[in-house]
Amino acid sequence: MSRSVNKQILITSGEPAGIGPDLCLLAAAQNALQDAVVIGCPILFAERAAQLGIDVAQAIYPQRAALTILPLPTRASVTAGELNPANAAYVLNMLRSAATRVSEGEFAALMTAPIHKGVINDSGVTFSGHTEFFQALAEVDKVVMMLACADLRVALVTTHLPLRDVVDAITAEAIRDTVRITEQALRDHFALPKPRIAVCGLNPHAGEQGHLGDEELRVITPTLNALRKQGLDITGPLPADTLFVPRYSDQYDAIIAMYHDQGLPVLKARGFGQAVNITLGLPYIRTSVDHGTALDLAGSGQIDTGSFLAALELAQTLNTDKDKCHG
């Protein structure tokens, strides 16, 4: 990846019928996008701004305004709150173009507004999420989804899998790669020279010494022991039902959960609306909001920009830390 001399953040505006365009407009109205460029449809932004009653100066990149737009036209007309599979290709083109531009160094980092996985799949394209999509584009073997709020960071061994498939996906390789990528990211981007990481067990009570499942004994514990011998500061496997109690979780720089709904409900209960989704292991920095498209709120003006602004600020901060580590 070529190094970027442009410190601007590139933002994908997400599902056109959702609140992504609204978030971009509201943030621009707060003068929060001075160092950002938004990729999306200028007509859509103009129509949504009128619907929201927001008067925001817009310009086509590289010209600068409160809302600087890298133009990409939608495939079909857009009505706030109404999904249209005809615009799925628009969303995918947006993600593909943004990832390419950031990976080539045109922008400093990538931030994404929410998309709707269902409508993309309804269009005939198999799609499981931003994380897996960017991983495939970057042609990297493993990425890690981490969500972070003010007092908790949670990374996942598996992401968007049905529960019946999770057990088979909890392999020594998956655990090892997740821990290593998380540990390296904490060093590089969060300026933590000796990260402290706790790892959840898979089963209730971390398997209760094999009485409630033996994955901890067969797979998780041996893998963590091998990583500890390599000098990593790792604790676990620990029961998830007590690990996330603040007096325990506060002892660690990150917690690694085995699957999506083991770790993320706790984090979102603690910091929803201010949490940020980060993809670790890509050749560029990518952050995102912690929520979905909120179709029922699109065009209403009744939305909270907290997670959007937090994701933008973290993208800027992580990029600065990376430059300090590698520049």
Looking at residue 266, its pLDDT comes to 94
d(CA 236, CA 217): 11
Query: Is pLDDT above 90 for 144?
Result: yes
Looking at residue 274, its pLDDT comes to 86
Domain 1-140+283-318 carries which CATH code? 3.40.718.10
Query: Is pLDDT above 50 for 180?
Result: yes
Looking at residue 7, its pLDDT comes to 83
Looking at residue 126, its pLDDT comes to 95
pLDDT band with cut points at 50, 70 and 90 for residue 318: confident
Least confident range of 70-74, 157-161, 233-237: 157-161
Q: Residue 57: phi, psi to the nearest 5?
A: -65, 130
| Polymer length of the chain | 327
Quick check: 37 and 97 in contact, CB under 8 A?
no
Query: Is pLDDT above 80 for 326?
Result: no
The residue whose two tokens read 């980060």 is 278
Looking at residue 272, its pLDDT comes to 80
Query: Is pLDDT above 90 for 206?
Result: yes
Looking at residue 319, its pLDDT comes to 59
For the chain, domain boundaries: 1-140+283-318, 141-281
Looking at residue 2, its pLDDT comes to 40
Query: Is pLDDT above 70 for 280?
Result: yes
Q: Do 1-140+283-318 and 141-281 share a fold?
A: yes
What is the residue-wise DSSP string for 135-161? HHHHT-S--EEEEEETTEEEEESS-S-
Q: Which CATH architecture has domain 141-281?
A: 3-Layer(aba) Sandwich (3.40)
For the segment 27-48, what is each residue's pLDDT rounded down to a tens digit?
999 999 999 999 999 999 999 9
Looking at residue 3, its pLDDT comes to 44
Cα 246 to Cα 20, 153, 208, 242: the distances in Å are: 32, 12, 22, 9
